[in-house]
Amino acid sequence: CTDLELLPQDKADPNAVLSEEENYESFLARIYAGLSVTGQQGPAGASDIASLDEGFSNYLRQYWQLQELPTESSVIAWGDAGLPELIYQSWTSDNQFIRAIYYRIFFQVSIANEFLRETTPERLDSRGIREGFRPTVEGFRAEARFLRALSYWHGIDMFGDVIFYTEEDGIGGSPPAQRSRAEVFAFIESELSAIENQLPAIGAAEYGRADRGALYMLQAKLYQNAEVYTGQERNGEAVAALEKIIDSGAYSLEEEYADLFKADNHTSNELIWTITFDGDNTQGFGGLTYLTHAPVGGSMNPEDYGINGGWFGLRTTKALVNKFPDVTGEADERAIFYTDGQSLEIDNISEFTQGYAVPKYTNVTSDGVVGSDPRFADTDFPMFRLGDAYLMYAESVLRGGGGSRDRALELVNALRERAYNGTAGNITDADLTLDFILDERARELYWEAHRRTDLIRFDSFSTNGVWPWKGGIPEGRTTSAIYNLYPIPSSEILSNPNLRQTEGY
Amino acid sequence: QTTVAGTITDQESGEPLIGASILAVGTSTGTITDFDGVYSLEVPEGVTQLQFSYTGYPTVIENINGRTTIDLAIQPGQLLDEVVVVGYGAVKKSDLTGSVNTIDNESFNQGAIVSPTNLIAGKVAGVNISSGSGNPGEGPTVRIRGGTSINASNDPLYVIDGVPLANDGVAGGRSPLNFLNPDDIASMTVLKDASAAAIYGSRGANGVILITTKKGSSGAPSISYRAEGTVSSVINRQQNLDAEAFRNVVTFAAPERLGILGNTSTNWFDELTQTGYGTQQNLSISGGGETNTYRVSAGYQQLEGVLRGAETERISLNLNFTQKLFSDKLIVGASIKGANENNVFDPGVINAALDFDPTQPIYDADNTAYAGFFEYGNSLAPRNPVSATEQISNTGKTYRGIGNLDLEYKFDDLIPGLSYKAVLGFDVNSGESNRFVPTTFATLATNGFVGEFNINNALRTSKLFDTYLTYAKEFGNQTASLQVGYSYQDFNFEGPSIQGQNLTTDAFGTANPGVAEDIFAYNSVVENRLISFFGRLNYNIDERYLFTASLRRDGSSRFGPSNRWGLFPSAALAWRILQEDFAAGLNNTFSELKLRVGYGVTGNQDFGDYLYLPVYQYSDQRTQYQFGDRFVSTIRPNAYDESLKWEETSSINVGLDFGFFNNRLSGIVEYYQKTTDDLIFTVNVPAGTNLSDRVTTNIGALENQGVELTLNGVIVDQAKFGLDVTGNVSFQQTEITRLSGSGSADIQTGGIAGGVGNTVQLLRVGATPYSFYLYQQKYGADGRPLRDGVDYNEDGVANNLDIYEDLNGDGVLNDQDLTINEAPMPDVLLGFTANARYGKLNLGFTLRGNLGNYVYNNAASNGGNLSRIDLGANYVSNVHASAVYTRFDRPQYFSDYYLESGSFLRLDNLTASYDFGQLANNALNLRVYATAQNLFILTNYSGNDPEGNGIDNSPFPRARIYTLGARIGL
């Protein structure tokens, strides 16, 4: 006997998996889930990537940390190697968190590519997929391309020039080449227009999935930051994309600001697209588990936030707190700070009680009911929401993208009326400046993983702008412009000879 | 068929040797001498040699040469020809061409030994056997010549009575070899070099340990019974503070935290440790008739650990039977070994014992939610370790059976010298572990659910079919033997498990999963197969030049079609110099002088299955994704490398065997060099080239060389008094010579306790694998490490620049300033055994040592900082005593201050025995003995124990074990 052909039994051969129609949806769901979970076992196990602790390396957790920790909006107490350097803007190419998001981003690109390779008409033929199911697969392919474009956007936003590869490049081939930020920008742009009509209409997708609403938001994000990415401003196109969203009438502002971040926020009509989490079915130590646990400590009672215990980690600096008229939230209800036993000043970032705590995300519903499992939040992450679209619209108008200044003012005041429970906080046309927008974005969108990108667009991230602990000192100082980009992880520079390290690292 | 008879006597005294055994070589036919030293044996046809053996005397092999009377006077302690198993057969020791060491049961270590490999710890040069931990029955780590791999296994291949084992254990067990009762082992043979191990092809790279169990011999039943009792005591080298010292530290460093402290004094370590008692009993009966022999044995062993609750129990049965048929042309051998092992595991409390505040009480009667134990109501706080020990149940049981049926047929009628052998074998290893945590245990309550159980089942089976033809021929002064064979072995594993959370009652333990609100079920099923063709040629010219060549072709299901088959050749040459005419003059001085040179290629395929295939993995029910109102299960394509192949080690071995003064002094000196290519690493691959950031693939090479010296000396050898000593020393060096396809990528590894994702070791070209990679600590004038939080360099900030050397002088302290350091692998291994006898009294000991091995004291680096008492939460953690000296405020995980020399010398074993000899009119014989294990260790290492993987963070207390036993023979 010389038979050595053994097929796995608890995992499946691709041909077997993809000859069943229902598995195509499961495969697609995995690309979405790549933003939310970390492996194939919950809360951790069979990890997608291996070079960092699984829960730590979660896509959203690291995307969030890299967008928020180097800004005025947050500090974290823990001393894990590389973590304080994110707060200080003094990271190196060996930083494990930068490595994690890098590999998570390209894991998403890789499995989206794999999905596209395995769903070509030839492959569907060879697996006997019936004609009637093919349009469904076409729709799935558009969603896969949307998710790939999203991750490529995160890639150029954080790393600048990145590796580029598509479904044409198979597994086990030579390392991909690096493309300029502008080239990848152009690819994302063309992908988004190519799939526009294949995605469901605005607001028409089932919850959790991308439709044209999500697509227009991603277009608007790209165009709004186009000057940073390509040197060429595209504010007019940003306005056009945002108008499609606002004019559609598919979305409306949530009545209570805080309800946007609670365990039942999937019912909110303001959310355009979310990353979903669930205490029973979508578990992990990243994402909303992190965002509901890490900011709790000191004298805070974990039960008030629907969680089993605080992680004594995240707080904010006075630079964010001072943008609000008062800390209690009485005037502007968006000021969700916990101050009892917490000091405003931070002498020691590793002391949880220094700096106000921010229980913005909770695992309690708007009715006060605790989520399904206090260990893992039910709350979804608002990747794109209407409030952001309003402020983006106003900013693009101010940057000369056309549109209507009156409408911009009206939209900004809509957000302020919600925040102030009335017109007390409304601004006038004279108040509507770019500086105001930057601050208003801090007030409206803090801890929603936009801040680093915003500050860089306003040139206030590194060489300008000072807040506590920026530069590694309590009072803060400016840093070098090299920190506007994250370095390519050193492990990647070593293993891919095609890569050139980002200037300055 | 002829009958050979004779008398066997002691050469010096002329006294008859009673009960000496005589074996027809190549068969299982044998007998023993009577009270007058007389034997008579019907010698099967085709047998040309008889083997004579007797305890305390060398084994002698005599050529029959047509004689019917063979009288023998044997000199005690004289070392003559022994037969050594070499895999698919046996050869005379004098005919060996490779590096092969045999330790028989006379030389085994004594004492409370659960795991068989502990029997030969310290006995063989180049073989490092380090005890795992203080857990009763924990298997040791065995490394032959330093290991050849980095990611794949470095464990040797174990072959028991011809059946190669899978090294993996199953749930519920401690060490997979524990099923074998050490009392049933006749000898263990280590194949160290590739020329010897290459016959095991793709599994031989880390050496092979052949275990031969005891067989019966013809004659009246002989009964042997052994009983022993053991006492284990804890060796406490822990360095956490007691209540008073801890209170002082808090008063000094964080007086505002004094209010959180309790007002009692609890030594958590003492509360969790105990004196462990154990017992072992073995009964064996062996004998045989004209054409058959048998041996049956039963063993029972029970051993408590020094940690409260930890316990192991084993019941073993062993049956060996040989039957000769068709005028002895067909020999049928059957063997069944079975064992049931029951384990109670401690729930993992030692770290909690070191962390828990020593000023807090064990009990708090008001705390009814937590069963009356004191606990902090905080999910991050350490848990009361006494509560864990008393409430959590963690048990396992395994059943393992190995059986083999051997058929050997001699075609002497047809073609003299031709024989055929077939081995059919099975190995069934089944285990179950049960862990139950009641609803009253605090970790669960503060983590949002109450009560938990885990039930893990595992079934590992393997089937073996080996068959080979042997043809031997003599022509003139030359003999040649040729062997060709085929081998098939199939391994299956299935491991379903159930986890339940949120229990409605504690009443059922793990017996009724229905009481869990949340149930999760898992399974894992894998299979792999090995198919081989092999051949070996032995050629002997005039007992002067010995030549062995072997070739094995292996196929493994773990690789894709293009890499599935590999070829593993070997060749070795030995020259017995004393047989040369020109060496005649040396015969007075030398009794043995043999030069051996060998070369061979071996492989290693001991890692995961199906890694070459694209596979899709389904999610469990906790990693679904929400689409609308539905939660959709997901499937993920896994990373793979379709060109994966095994690691290949080619090695050269040069050895000299020598003996002086009638072998009163003998020894072996050897040099080896091994190059392992296609090292299997799980490495970073460029993003975009695969479906994960790391892929298991072949990248890199490793070089490994060493010198080994073994010396045996019979210092005194008189009738009344004797003393012999054996010492071995080996020098070894391992270096990574290539990593990754694209240059010299370092790979950081060596995760530690403390923080997340912190590593302290490195794989780098030119360095020893797993070298430590740390900052250089700066020291003050008082010799203490500079403490953190002080701006020594007066640059305005207190940071790492103040306390670590900025090696590249760029004014920034970052990863560029980490330096490569020593490694955990020892440079020198030492073993020393001495045995003295005076009349009927015997005294022996085994010393074992390592030099040049380094240890990262993770217990100190993680616990030795004052921030543990200032966590900003409502609890404090005890600190490691080093914090009082270093005054570190924050953990300094990457300081080389924590890197220490782990060189040690350990007295593994001290045994005294008294042999009463024949008692009660020769009706029985009796031997009593006492053994002490782990009596002392000499080391400068400040932590718990310098032995381990180099990162000392699992401070399970080691035990000192005393054993008292007696053996009665009937």
pLDDT per residue over A29-74, tens digit each?
999 999 999 999 988 888 998 877 888 899 999 999 999 999 999 9
Looking at the predicted structure, is the pLDDT value of residue A217 above 50? yes
Candidates B564, B634, B874: best to mutate against A (most CBs of A within 10 A) is: B634
Which H or E run includes A23? helix A22-33
Q: Do A284 and B623 touch (CB under 8 A)?
A: yes
The pLDDT assigned to B130 comes to 74
Here the tokens at position A241 are 């994309």
Residue B231: is it exposed, middle or buried by C-beta count within 10 angstroms (0-12/13-18/19+)?
middle
Say which amino acid occupies B550.
S
Candidates A2, A10, A148: best to mutate against B (most CBs of B within 10 A) is: A10
Q: Do A283 and B615 touch (CB under 8 A)?
A: no
**Nearest Cβ partner of A11 from B617, B628, B642?**
B617
Q: Does B814 touch chain A (CB under 8 A)?
A: yes
Residue A331 maps to a domain? no
| Per-residue pLDDT reduced to its tens digit, B366-399 | 888 888 999 887 777 888 999 999 999 999 999 9
**Nearest Cβ partner of A81 from B690, B742, B755?**
B755
| Per-residue pLDDT reduced to its tens digit, A303-335 | 999 998 889 899 999 999 999 999 999 999 999
Most confident listed range (A224-228, B35-39, B420-424): A224-228
Measuring CA to CA, how many Å separate B829 from each of B209, B442, B851, B857, B869? 19, 46, 6, 21, 41
The pLDDT assigned to B742 comes to 46
* SS3 labels along B781-850: CCCCECCCCCCCCCCCCCCHHHHECCCCCCCCCCHHHCEECCCCCCCEEEEEEEEEEECCEEEEEEEEEE
Measuring CA to CA, how many Å separate B444 from each of B367, B410, B450? 15, 67, 5
Residue A98: its chain B contacts at CB < 8 A? none
Give me the DSSP letters along B587-639: GGTEEEEEEEEEEEEEEE--S-SSTTS--EEE--TTB-EEETTEEE--EEEPP
Here the tokens at position B566 are 């590999």
- Identify whether the C-beta of residue A102 lies closer than 8 Å to the C-beta of residue A488: yes
| Alpha carbon distance B120, B909 (integer Å) | 11
Quickly state the pLDDT bin for A78 (edges 50, 70, 90).
confident
Say which amino acid occupies A353.
T
Here the tokens at position A150 are 């999203």
- Mean residue pLDDT across chain A: 94
What range does the domain containing A173 cover?
A: 20-75+89-195+483-505
Indicate which CATH number applies to the domain containing A181.
Answer: 1.25.40.390
- Identify whether the C-beta of residue A212 lies closer than 8 Å to the C-beta of residue A196: yes
- Identify whether the C-beta of residue B544 lies closer than 8 Å to the C-beta of residue B580: yes
The pLDDT assigned to B96 comes to 83
Quickly state the pLDDT bin for B744 (edges 50, 70, 90).
very low
Give me the mean pLDDT over the B488-498 stretch.
Answer: 93
Candidates B260, B378, B466, B622: best to mutate against A (most CBs of A within 10 A) is: B622
- In chain A, how many domains are there? 1
* Residues ≥6 apart with Cβ < 8 Å to B767: B735, B736, B820, B823
Q: Do B694 and A50 touch (CB under 8 A)?
A: yes
**Nearest Cβ partner of A111 from B637, B815, B894?**
B637
| Alpha carbon distance B166, B446 (integer Å) | 41
Nearest to B435 by CA among B459, B460, B456: B456
Give me the mean pLDDT over the B652-662 stretch.
Answer: 89
Number of helices (H) and strands (E) in chain A: give both, helices first. Answer: 18, 6
Q: Rounded to 5 degrees, what are φ and ψ at A428?
A: -100, 170
Looking at the predicted structure, is the pLDDT value of residue B306 above 70? yes
Residue B195, min C-alpha distance to chain A (Å): 26
Place of tokens 């400040």: B942
Give me the mean pLDDT over the A260-264 stretch.
Answer: 97
Quickly state the pLDDT bin for B830 (edges 50, 70, 90).
very high
Nearest to B118 by CA among B139, B147, B145, B144: B139
The pLDDT assigned to B447 comes to 67
Residue B522: its chain A contacts at CB < 8 A? 41
Q: β-pairing, B72-74 with B2-10?
A: parallel
**Nearest Cβ partner of A110 from B525, B688, B740?**
B688
A63 versus B58: which is more confidently predicted? A63
Looking at the predicted structure, is the pLDDT value of residue B907 above 70? yes
Q: Does B521 touch chain A (CB under 8 A)?
A: no
Looking at the predicted structure, is the pLDDT value of residue B864 above 60? yes
Residue B97, min C-alpha distance to chain A (Å): 32
**Nearest Cβ partner of B616 from A17, A32, A37?**
A17
Residue A346, min C-alpha distance to chain B (Å): 14
Residue A431 maps to a domain? no
CATH number given to B1-81: 2.60.40.1120
Q: Do A171 and B691 touch (CB under 8 A)?
A: yes
| Per-residue pLDDT reduced to its tens digit, B211-254 | 888 888 777 888 999 999 999 998 877 788 999 999 999 998 88
The pLDDT assigned to A102 comes to 96
The ipTM estimated for the assembled molecules is: 0.96
Q: Does B528 touch chain A (CB under 8 A)?
A: yes
* Residues ≥6 apart with Cβ < 8 Å to B598: B97, B98, B99, B193, B194, B195, B196, B570, B571, B572, B573, B652, B653, B654, B655
- Identify whether the C-beta of residue B541 lies closer than 8 Å to the C-beta of residue B517: no
**Nearest Cβ partner of A208 from B524, B557, B625?**
B625
* Residues ≥6 apart with Cβ < 8 Å to B436: B392, B393, B394, B452, B453, B509, B510
- Identify whether the C-beta of residue B242 lies closer than 8 Å to the C-beta of residue B358: yes
In chain B, residues 880-899 whose CB comes closer than 8 Å to chain A: 890-891, 893-894
3-state SS assignment for residue A277: coil
The pLDDT assigned to B487 comes to 94
3-state SS assignment for residue A259: helix
Looking at the predicted structure, is the pLDDT value of residue B712 above 60? yes
Q: Do B380 and A312 touch (CB under 8 A)?
A: yes
Residue B501: is it exposed, middle or buried by C-beta count within 10 angstroms (0-12/13-18/19+)?
buried
Residue A29: its chain B contacts at CB < 8 A? 624-625, 627, 632-634
| Alpha carbon distance A177, B674 (integer Å) | 38
| Alpha carbon distance B438, B445 (integer Å) | 10
- Mean residue pLDDT across chain B: 87
Quickly state the pLDDT bin for B78 (edges 50, 70, 90).
very low
Residue B254, min C-alpha distance to chain A (Å): 13
Residue A253 maps to a domain? no
Residue A493 maps to a domain? yes
Measuring CA to CA, how many Å separate B88 from each of A451, B99, B163, B468? 70, 16, 10, 8
The pLDDT assigned to B934 comes to 87
Q: Do B526 and A9 touch (CB under 8 A)?
A: yes
Residue B630, min C-alpha distance to chain A (Å): 9
3-state SS assignment for residue B707: strand
The pLDDT assigned to B741 comes to 54
CA-only gyration radius of chain B, Å: 30
In chain B, residues 859-878 whose CB comes closer than 8 Å to chain A: 867, 871-873
Quickly state the pLDDT bin for B445 (edges 50, 70, 90).
low
Residue A500 maps to a domain? yes
Give me the mean pLDDT over the A162-185 stretch.
Answer: 94
CA-only gyration radius of chain A, Å: 22
Q: Do A96 and B757 touch (CB under 8 A)?
A: yes
* SS3 labels along B384-423: CHHHHHHHCEEEEEEEEEEEEEEEEEECCCCCCCEEEEEE
Q: Do A48 and B636 touch (CB under 8 A)?
A: yes
Q: Does B562 touch chain A (CB under 8 A)?
A: no
Here the tokens at position B314 are 């084993």
- How many other CB atoms are there within 10 angstroms of residue A234's CB atom? 23
The pLDDT assigned to B446 comes to 65
Give the least confident one: A287-296, B137-146, B793-802.
Answer: B137-146
Nearest to B740 by CA among B96, B93, B150, B264: B150
Residue A127: its chain B contacts at CB < 8 A? none
Measuring CA to CA, how many Å separate B731 from each of A32, B671, B734, B827, B904? 55, 10, 10, 6, 15
The pLDDT assigned to B955 comes to 67
Residue B556, min C-alpha distance to chain A (Å): 6
Q: Do B815 and A6 touch (CB under 8 A)?
A: no
Residue B118: DSSP 8-state: G
- Nearest chain B residue to A103 by CA distance is B693
Q: Do B627 and A165 touch (CB under 8 A)?
A: no
- Nearest chain A residue to B620 by CA distance is A41
Place of tokens 């490694």: B823
Residue A11: its chain B contacts at CB < 8 A? 610, 615-618, 638
| Per-residue pLDDT reduced to its tens digit, B528-560 | 999 999 999 999 998 889 999 999 999 999 999
Quickly state the pLDDT bin for B283 (edges 50, 70, 90).
very high
> What are the helix (H) ranges across B837-962?
858-863, 882-886
Q: Do B640 and A171 touch (CB under 8 A)?
A: yes
- Identify whether the C-beta of residue B842 lies closer than 8 Å to the C-beta of residue B889: no
The pLDDT assigned to B703 comes to 93
B621 versus B583: which is more confidently predicted? B621
Q: Do A495 and B642 touch (CB under 8 A)?
A: no
3-state SS assignment for residue B933: strand
Give me the mean pLDDT over the B956-962 stretch.
Answer: 83
- Nearest chain A residue to B491 by CA distance is A6
Candidates A3, A4, A118: best to mutate against B (most CBs of B within 10 A) is: A4
**Nearest Cβ partner of B378 from A14, A281, A309?**
A309
